């Protein structure tokens, strides 16, 4: 399962590289990203909330030997989802000429393209949401294979369509790829799903399970949609700026998101099962230690990465993207934006650990309220910084609001758990921060003394690889010198000298 998740993450990044080659930071990619806003918000609203609320309820029925009742609820959810989202997709396509110009402040010709793209993308809401729910139900039966391959299938479809169809269909290749990816990934799940022989065409909205589900769905839906709403405002503000701004911001965010996804996958594999076990046993003492260990790992992995992204922004963007339609001017744009996106990397990853902790502690409504407040702060900071900083201000607003969210989550977690090892986390932050800062200075010195690489892919890859290896070497040596506890923990994990349940090394 972890291998499929990692493959999906890598292919998702390859997809962005293919986008860059085919479209650069053009208005076509801007239009596609603006057109995807409403489908993405609806997907986050329905799929994220439903999966979060349905799976514990479904598992409760199954574990108490009421499997037939579990499937009455699941079948009702699926049928309702098809009806509601089908209607929402049709309504969204019909109203697109009204709301798209208010989301995307492009020229009239580009707005027309965005409207057509939005209409084509609306059916993906049904496919992606159904795939999310069906995948979660398969996971409940420990059938992880098909569900884990969803992202792989979707990304392969998108990459294939853009690579081969773009010369003939231009901007529409993006839409056709997204459509194919959504529906093919759903179709890939259906054989495993129907092999369970449990689904029935049921629509019992008065079932006690549906009543319980609807009772908790509202707050969770608000929390699930918070991140997508923040993205909506980012793209709304950016659409009023110069052509390519939305695309440039998207590439910068994706570059930062790649290590974040890799590290969160690693942390999730090690820490989240520990959370579940400790919560089930109501062991708050052990949970305090695990939360602290998770945050230490986040700091150790993401803080030097953030410094590296800031110092090597130009070589990273140039090596990854500068080919085809992605011009040197596009490289300059994205390299200027990347450091502002990287500032929030630590908070972004820490919030994943803290959110799971707060959900396990039962303070869901407080966590959701903080997420909503974070969006409001983000919008306010964006409005304040947009006139002077432009797109950089939007990314900086994201980073600052995420950091404030982390602080709020830490306070709530500290109260819910009766305190945890803040002093140990602070020491880790100081040690890793100092090592990362020295590494950044060393990277800056190397860049000044080195001549730029030849304008070939091989030369650029070699140059970037040398810088990355040098930075990693400097950081690890310094971490060893300051006796970093996280380095010892990472080495033990790599050498498999510790199992996940033993990852509570704090005093």
Contact 354, 414 (CB under 8 A): no
Tell me the per-residue pLDDT of 425-441, one tens digit each, with 9 for 90 and over.
Answer: 999 999 999 999 999 99
**For residue 423, what are the domain limits?**
244-507
Residues 226 and 265 in one domain: no
Q: Phi and psi of 464, rounded to 5°?
A: -65, -40
Q: What is the mean pLDDT of residues 78-82?
A: 88
- Residue 169 corresponds to which tokens in the numbers above? 């269909």
- 430 shares a domain with 297: yes
Q: What's the sign of the alpha-carbon dihedral 160, 165, 166, 169?
A: negative
Q: 241, 266, 301 — which closes off a domain?
A: 241
Q: Are residues 232 and 322 in the same domain?
A: no
Question: What is the average pLDDT across 195-204?
Answer: 77
Same domain, 45 and 60: yes
pLDDT, position 271:
66
Do 205 and 251 fall within a single domain? Answer: no
Number of domains in the chain: 2
Phi/psi class of residue 452: alpha, beta or left (left: φ > 0; alpha: ψ in -120 to 50)? beta
**Same domain, yes or no: 350 and 483:** yes
Q: What is the DSSP letter of 283?
A: -
Per-residue pLDDT band for 451 (boundaries 50, 70, 90) equals: confident
State residue 507's pLDDT score: 41
Q: Are residues 152 and 47 part of one domain?
A: yes
The CA distance from 52 to 2, in Å, is: 20
Residue matched to tokens 């390299």 = 335
C-beta separation of 347 from 298 below 8 A:
no
Task: Kindly state whether residues 366 and 479 are assigned to the same domain.
Answer: yes
The burial of 483, by beta-carbon neighbours within 10 Å (0-12 exposed, 13-18 middle, 19 or more buried), is given as exposed
What are the φ/ψ torsions at residue 361 (nearest 5 degrees)?
Answer: -80, -5
Of 222, 241, 260, the residue at which a domain comes to its end is 241
Structural tokens at position 433: 């921060």
The larger pLDDT score, comparing residue 485 to residue 155, is at 155
Residue 405 contacts residue 351 (beta carbons within 8 Å): yes
**317 burial type by CB count under 10 A (0-12 exposed, 13-18 middle, 19+ buried):** buried
Residues in the chain: 507
Residue 144 pLDDT grade (very low, low, confident, very high; cuts 50, 70, 90):
low
Same domain, 58 and 121: yes
pLDDT at 486: 82
Q: Does residue 420 sit in the same domain as residue 283?
A: yes
Model confidence over 387-428: pLDDT tens digits? Answer: 999 999 999 999 999 999 999 999 999 888 887 788 889 999
For residue 145, pLDDT beyond 90: no
Tens of pLDDT, residues 227-264: 778 888 999 999 889 889 999 999 999 999 888 888 77
- Quickly tell me which residue has 């950091």 as its tokens: 403
CA angle centred on 271, ends 268 and 277, rounded to 5°: 120
The token duo for 57 is 């309820």
Would you say 160 and 15 are in contact if contact means Cβ atoms under 8 Å apart? no
pLDDT score of 245: 93
**CB-neighbour burial class of residue 123 (10 A; exposed 0-12, middle 13-18, buried 19+):** buried
CA geometry: angle 77, 227, 101, nearest 5 deg: 95
What integer pLDDT is reported at residue 198 of this predicted model? 77
CA distance 258 to 345: 10
Interacting residues of 171 by C-beta distance below 8 A, sequence separation 6+: 23, 28, 31, 32, 113, 117
Rounded to two decimals, what is the model's pTM?
0.87
pLDDT digit string, tens, across residues 291-314: 888 898 899 999 999 999 999 999
**Least confidently predicted of 206-210, 422-426, 443-447:** 206-210
Query: Are 236 and 248 contained in the same domain?
Result: no
Task: Indicate if the pLDDT at residue 499 is higher than 60.
Answer: no
CA 308 to chain centre: 20
The pLDDT, as a whole number, for residue 506 is 41
Residue with structure tokens 């986390």?
425
Mean pLDDT of the region 142-166: 84
CA 422 to chain centre: 26
Check residue 238 and give its pLDDT.
92
Same domain (yes/no): 44, 173:
yes
Which of 192, 216, 241 terminates a domain? The answer is 241
Measured CA to CA, the distance from residue 337 to residue 245 in angstroms comes to 10
């Amino acid at each position: 399962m972890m291998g499929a998740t990692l493959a999906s993450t890598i292919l998702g990044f390859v997809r962005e590289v293919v986008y860059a080659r085919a479209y650069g930071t053009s208005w076509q990619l801007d239009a596609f990203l603006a057109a995807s806003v409403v489908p993405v918000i609806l997907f986050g609203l329905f799929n994220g909330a439903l999966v979060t609320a349905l799976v514990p309820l479904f598992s409760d029925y199954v574990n108490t030997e009421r499997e037939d009742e579990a499937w009455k609820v699941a079948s009702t959810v699926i049928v309702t989802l098809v009806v509601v989202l089908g209607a929402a997709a049709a309504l969204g396509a019909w109203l697109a000429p009204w709301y798209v110009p208010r989301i995307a402040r492009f020229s009239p010709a580009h707005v027309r393209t965005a409207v057509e793209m939005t209409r084509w993308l609306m059916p993906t809401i049904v496919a992606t949401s159904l795939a999310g729910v069906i995948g979660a139900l398969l996971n409940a039966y420990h059938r992880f294979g098909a569900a884990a391959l969803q992202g792989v299938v979707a990304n392969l479809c998108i990459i294939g369509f853009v690579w081969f169809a773009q010369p003939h269909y231009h901007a529409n290749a993006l839409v056709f790829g997204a459509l194919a990816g959504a529906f093919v990934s759903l179709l890939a799940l259906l054989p495993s799903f129907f092999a369970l022989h449990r689904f029935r065409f049921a629509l019992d909205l008065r079932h006690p399970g549906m009543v319980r589900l609807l009772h908790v769905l509202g707050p969770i839906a608000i929390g699930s949609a918070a991140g997508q709403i923040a993205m909506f405002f980012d793209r709304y503000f950016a659409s009023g700026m110069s052509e390519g701004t939305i695309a440039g911001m998207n590439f910068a965010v994706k570059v930062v998101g790649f290590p974040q996804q890799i590290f969160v996958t690693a942390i999730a594999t090690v820490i989240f099962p520990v959370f579940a076990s400790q919560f089930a046993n109501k062991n708050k003492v052990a949970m305090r230690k695990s939360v602290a260990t998770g945050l230490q790992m986040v700091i150790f992995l993401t803080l030097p990465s953030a410094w590296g992204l800031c110092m090597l922004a130009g070589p990273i963007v140039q090596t990854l993207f500068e080919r085809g339609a992605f011009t040197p001017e596009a490289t300059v744009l994205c390299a200027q934006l990347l450091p502002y996106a990287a500032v929030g990397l630590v908070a972004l990853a820490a919030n994943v650990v803290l959110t799971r902790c707060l959900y396990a502690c039962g303070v869901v409504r407080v966590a959701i309220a903080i997420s909503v407040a974070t969006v409001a702060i983000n919008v306010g900071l964006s409005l304040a910084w947009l006139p002077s900083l432009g797109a950089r201000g939007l990314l900086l607003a994201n980073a600052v609001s995420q950091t404030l969210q982390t602080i709020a989550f830490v306070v709530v977690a500290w109260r819910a758990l009766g305190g945890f090892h803040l002093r140990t986390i602070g020491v880790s932050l100081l040690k890793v921060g100092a090592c990362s800062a020295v590494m950044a200075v060393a990277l800056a010195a190397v860049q000044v003394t080195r001549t730029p690489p030849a304008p070939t892919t091989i030369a650029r890859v070699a140059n970037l690889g040398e810088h990355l290896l040098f930075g990693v070497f400097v950081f690890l040596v310094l971490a060893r010198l300051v006796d970093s506890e996280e380095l010892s923990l990472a080495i033990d994990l790599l050498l498999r000298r510790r199992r996940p349940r033993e990852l509570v090394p704090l005093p």
